[in-house]
Structure 1
Amino acid sequence: MSVLTTKEIMEIIPHRQPFLLIDTIEELEPGKRAVGRKCVSYNEPFFAGHFPQEPVMPGVLILEALAQVGAVAILSCEDFKGKTAYFGAVNSAKFKRKVVPGDVLTLELEIVKQKGPIGVGSAKAYVDGKAAVIAELTFAIG
């Protein structure tokens, strides 16, 4: 059972279709961590051009989905409600496997450092329990 539905996610972060890249939040510790889920459908608009003969979810969009999960975690804190989380940096990113239509992405982000409105998150995306992306992301609250 989900902790937050798509509608509840949209009450926390400003992203909307087609750029809202998470479907549900499965676990949430405000200000600390969140686990989200994205069901990757063949109907995603980016598959028309990436790649028509072999659809693959762009790695930058997996990073964005991870950042959105992190934004839900940090913006669920009372101090940051109603604000926006922006990318500050992609400190590192490793792409371990392709994500294709039919995959269910499990997206985890743990906030490992924070000083005021700036923080760093340790991010992991999985498909069937296997790592697809491992990254460290910096965010800024504005």
Structure 2
Amino acid sequence: MLSGTTINQLQVDRLRPQDLLPHRPPMLLIDQLVDYIPGESILAETFIKPDTMFFQGHFPGEPILPGVVLVEMMFQACGIFGRLEALNAVEVSDVSENYRPKSGRAIKIDKMTFNKPVLPNDTVRIQAVFEHKMLNFSVFKARVDIDGRGIAAKGIVTVLINS
């Protein structure tokens, strides 16, 4: 799985969100990893399919992706960051194909703002920038950008990441 003691961009390109998160469709909300800077940040991307279940009732005739889904995307990006950090912390000889860090969970949302609606056929990029850690709690500045239309949402999220 790993060829060195840290994960490089080539390895990130080969990892899929489902390799790093316990989520599965329809709750796996991230399609691919775009970039990972160890100890600093994660960038992920998702295409918003027109037939996604969230559009069925929010709102018929004028579908808008619910803000809570954008926040969940942020939490999932943070979870991926935490798992990549955990993989970077173990020795290569300790890593097997079945290695999985323990799960984490969402803890807190601060200063969240929703700037623009996310619509069917939008591509969004989810960025989480690591701010600090206290015990197993990690704080991130996170945002969701809509390709070509600006910021959809931004705020501060705290996650519990068990390594």
Q: TM-score by structure 2 length? A: 0.79
Deviations for 1:74-100, whole angstroms, at most 9, x for unmatched residues? 111235952112111001200000000
After superposing the two structures, state which structure 1 stretch, 13-22 or 83-92, moved more: 83-92
Q: Tell me the equivalent position of 1:34.
A: 42
Count, aligned residues? 141
Q: How does 1:36-75 map to 2 (within 5 A)?
A: 36-75=44-83
Identify which of 80, 99, 102 aligns with 2:121. 102
For the residues of structure 1 that align with 2:131 and 2:63, how far apart are their CA atoms?
Answer: 33
After superposing the two structures, state which structure 1 stretch, 7-16 or 31-40, moved more: 7-16
Deviations for 1:11-70, whole angstroms, at most 9, x for unmatched residues? 211010000001001001244310000100111011111111100000000010111111
Instruction: Kindly indicate whether the alpha-carbon contact (under 8 Å) linking 1:92 and 1:136 is maintained by their aligned counterparts in 2.
Output: yes
After superposing the two structures, state which structure 1 stretch, 116-125 or 29-38, moved more: 29-38
Q: Tell me the equivalent position of 1:22.
A: 30
- Do structure 1's residue 77 and structure 2's residue 77 form an aligned pair? no
Which ranges of structure 1 fall in alignment gaps of 5 or more residues? none
- Give the deviation of 1:129 after TM superposition: 5.5
Q: TM-score by structure 1 length? A: 0.90
Instruction: Kindly indicate whether the alpha-carbon contact (under 8 Å) linking 1:88 and 1:140 is maintained by their aligned counterparts in 2.
Output: yes
Identity percentage of aligned residues? 24
Which structure 1 residue ranges, 4+ long, deviate > 6 Å from structure 2?
none
Instruction: Kindly indicate whether the alpha-carbon contact (under 8 Å) linking 1:47 and 1:57 is maintained by their aligned counterparts in 2.
Output: yes
For the residues of structure 1 that align with 2:149 and 2:134, how far apart are their CA atoms?
Answer: 32
Q: Tell me the equivalent position of 1:86.
A: 105
Identify which of 114, 121, 130 aligns with 2:133. 114
**CA RMSD, Structure 1 to Structure 2 (Å):** 2.0
- Do structure 1's residue 140 and structure 2's residue 160 form an aligned pair? yes
Which ranges of structure 2 fall in alignment gaps of 5 or more residues? 1-8, 91-99
Instruction: Kindly indicate whether the alpha-carbon contact (under 8 Å) linking 1:31 and 1:76 is maintained by their aligned counterparts in 2.
Output: no
Counterpart of 2:85, as a letter, is C
For the residues of structure 2 that align with 1:21 and 1:31, how far apart are their CA atoms?
Answer: 23
User: Of the two, which has the highest radius of gyration?
Assistant: 2
